């Protein structure tokens, strides 16, 4: 028994599961806490602010997958350092673009949501984005090295910081701006720790390797579409509910979605080591092994998401009534819809990891564009009559469309095609190929 426990605790997928649990726990606790202590209008504004920030942070999607991919397959320390230096240069560029986008959309955002107070919070966006993208840089490198114990430790520490700050400052947080400032403070503490602990990951030099930089950018431009779609799945509904209905209606959608996604996305912990594993196997031409990893990850996630959906049908409504009474009417319906989407995500997320690992990001970005178009159109059709439930239905239908497209691409361009041809390993060239 002791030997089995040691093996389980040291297993990467188990550690990845704990990591996702730790990271999502803080988000879940903060959402529940803020939903209780803030008024319905202030909590709705906070939901819009966080979704706007994540939407602007799509720029970071250029680097998350690219960092994991390139750092996981770097052949030596010299190239590893060159990769980090190139990533830091590209992040500076993304920060400049972030400032320009924010400045260009400032007036339009305030008018769209009829919230003058929004401008007071938008001022904080550049500082939070700088810390957010830097923290993501550290986390992605740790993930690339598949050191799940270090990843679990730093994400657990970030969760503890978030929850501790929330309870310490609870009596002083009465507005959306104050809640967002707490989010800023938690990132300051987390990034300071990571910088002290891993200074080798921020070795910035004025001169950079242009070949590596170009490869990262070329790879990243496709992963950006995929990251953008992932964020839009989560935040587009909030933004459009706030714009098409009212900021106050955002609360029900955010509570229902966050509550469901807390448990559903725990299954994503299984996927944390999948991308680097697929990358290595693909370079060795082991297509059959890639298929086995894909099937295994889907089955493991289904063991979590299917029972969760069944339980949600029976217990969601009474639990939401107990915690919130009628403050966020409709949140239980949103919860059940997103619980059902977890089953679809088991396939879609695993398919996405394979597409990224074997360099078929161009195809993945194509399905993402189609999915976003479907999501936006359905939001316009369903949000006015059904409010938060309409936004949830639009997201799930769009997610299903994207999953079917990814399945088609994998079967046609990789599993079937490569099973009859040998895959030649590539030493460093990670440029996506179709």
Residue 176 lies in a domain: yes
Which H or E run includes 92? helix 77-113
Q: Is the pLDDT higher at 357 or at 173?
A: 173
Residue 434 lies in a domain: no
- Is the pLDDT assigned to residue 423 strictly greater than 50? no
Residue 381 lies in a domain: yes
108-140 residue pLDDT tens = 888 888 778 888 999 999 999 999 989 988 888
Domain that holds residue 137: 9-418
Residue 17 lies in a domain: yes
345-387 residue pLDDT tens = 888 888 888 887 787 877 887 888 888 889 889 989 998 888 8
> CA 101, CA 104: separation in Å to the nearest integer?
5
Residue 425 lies in a domain: no
pLDDT at position 222 is 64
In this prediction, residue 10 has a pLDDT band, given cuts at 50, 70 and 90, of very low
- Is the pLDDT assigned to residue 93 strictly greater than 50? yes
Residue 26 lies in a domain: yes
Tokens encoding 96:
């400049």
Residue 343 lies in a domain: yes
241-296 residue pLDDT tens = 887 777 777 888 878 777 666 655 665 656 666 777 787 788 777 888 888 888 88
pLDDT at position 87 is 85
- Is the pLDDT assigned to residue 20 strictly greater than 70? no
> CA 166, CA 267: separation in Å to the nearest integer?
26
Overall number of domains in the chain: 1
Q: Are 256 and 335 in contact (CB under 8 A)?
A: yes
Whole-number average pLDDT of the chain: 80
Residue 423 lies in a domain: no
Q: Which of 418, 330, 327, 360 is nearest to 32 (CA)?
A: 327
Q: Report DSSP state, residue 268.
A: G
- Is the pLDDT assigned to residue 236 strictly greater than 80? no
Q: Are 195 and 202 in contact (CB under 8 A)?
A: yes
Q: Collect all residues with Cβ–Cβ distance below 8 Å to 154 and sequence separation of at least 6.
A: 138, 139, 142, 190, 193, 194, 197
């Amino acid at each position: 028994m002791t030997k089995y426990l040691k093996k389980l605790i040291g297993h990467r997928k188990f550690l990845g599961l704990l990591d996702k649990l730790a990271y999502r726990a803080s988000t879940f606790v903060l959402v529940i806490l803020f939903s209780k202590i803030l008024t319905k209008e202030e909590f709705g504004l906070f939901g819009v602010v966080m979704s706007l920030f994540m939407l602007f942070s799509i720029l970071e999607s250029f680097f998350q997958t690219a960092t994991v991919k390139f750092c996981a397959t770097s052949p030596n320390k010299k190239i590893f350092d060159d990769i980090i230096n190139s990533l830091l240069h590209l992040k500076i560029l993304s920060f400049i673009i972030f400032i320009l986008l924010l400045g260009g959309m400032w007036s339009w955002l305030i008018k769209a949501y009829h919230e003058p107070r929004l401008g007071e919070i938008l001022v904080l966006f550049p500082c939070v984005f700088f810390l957010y993208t830097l923290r993501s840089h550290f986390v992605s490198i740790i993930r690339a090295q598949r050191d799940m114990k270090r990843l679990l430790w730093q994400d657990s520490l970030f969760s503890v910081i978030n929850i501790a700050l929330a309870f310490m400052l609870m009596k002083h947080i009465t507005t959306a701006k104050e809640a967002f400032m707490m989010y800023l403070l938690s990132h300051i503490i987390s990034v300071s720790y990571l910088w002290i602990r891993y200074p080798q990951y921020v070795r910035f030099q004025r001169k950079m390797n242009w070949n590596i930089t170009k490869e990262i950018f070329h790879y990243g431009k496709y992963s950006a579409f995929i990251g953008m779609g992932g964020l839009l799945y989560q935040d587009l509904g909030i933004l459009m509910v706030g714009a098409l209905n009212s900021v106050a209606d955002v609360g029900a959608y955010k509570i229902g979605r966050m509550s469901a996604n807390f448990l559903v996305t725990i299954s994503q912990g299984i996927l944390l080591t999948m991308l680097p594993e697929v990358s290595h196997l693909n370079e060795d031409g082991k297509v059959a092994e890639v298929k086995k990893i894909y099937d295994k990850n889907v089955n493991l996630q289904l063991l979590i998401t299917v029972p969760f959906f069944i339980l949600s049908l029976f217990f969601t409504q009474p639990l939401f009534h107990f915690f919130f009474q009628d403050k966020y009417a409709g949140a239980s319906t949103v919860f059940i819809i997103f619980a059902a989407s977890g089953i679809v995500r088991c396939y879609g997320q695993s398919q996405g990891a394979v597409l990224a690992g074997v360099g078929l990001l161009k195809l993945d970005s194509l399905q993402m564009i189609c999915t976003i178009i479907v999501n936006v159109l359905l939001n316009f059709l369903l949000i006015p009559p059904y409010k938060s439930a309409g936004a949830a239905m639009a997201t799930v239908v769009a997610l299903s469309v994207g999953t079917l497209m990814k399945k088609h691409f994998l079967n046609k361009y990789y599993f079937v095609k490569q099973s009859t041809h040998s895959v030649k390993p590539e030493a460093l060239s990670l440029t996506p190929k179709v």
